[in-house]
Amino acid sequence: MAKDITLKVYLALGTWRDTVVSRMRRRAGDSGASIVEYGGLLVIVALIVVAVRGLGLQNIISKAIGTAVNSITGG
């Protein structure tokens, strides 16, 4: 009975190890963000800046940030 449990645990750990190693090897090819991803982020940030300026929200956002900082710092 103990041999069966030991064998099952050994096989389960071996399977788990193989799965982890396999996943790590697959992820090794994903070393970082590509130029396309950085370009997409740049476009999103640019759209946000254009929207904020177009709607005239600079002062509202600035005041809200200032108020939040003052409430945190007590100033």
pLDDT (0 to 100) of residue 50:
92
One domain, residues 40 and 18: no
One domain, residues 27 and 56: no
One domain, residues 40 and 73: yes
Do you know the residue count of the chain? 75
* Residue 17 domain boundaries: 1-31
- For residue 9, what are its two tokens? 């645990």
One domain, residues 48 and 66: yes
One domain, residues 37 and 68: yes
One domain, residues 11 and 42: no
Q: What is the DSSP letter of 16?
A: H
One domain, residues 36 and 64: yes
Q: How sure is the predictor about 48, in pLDDT bands with cuts at 50, 70 and 90?
A: very high
The mean pLDDT value of the chain amounts to 85
pLDDT (0 to 100) of residue 47:
94
Kindly state the average pLDDT of the residues 51-65: 91
The number of helices, as runs of H, and strands, as runs of E, in the chain is 3, 0
Total structural domains in the chain?
A: 2
pLDDT (0 to 100) of residue 30:
61
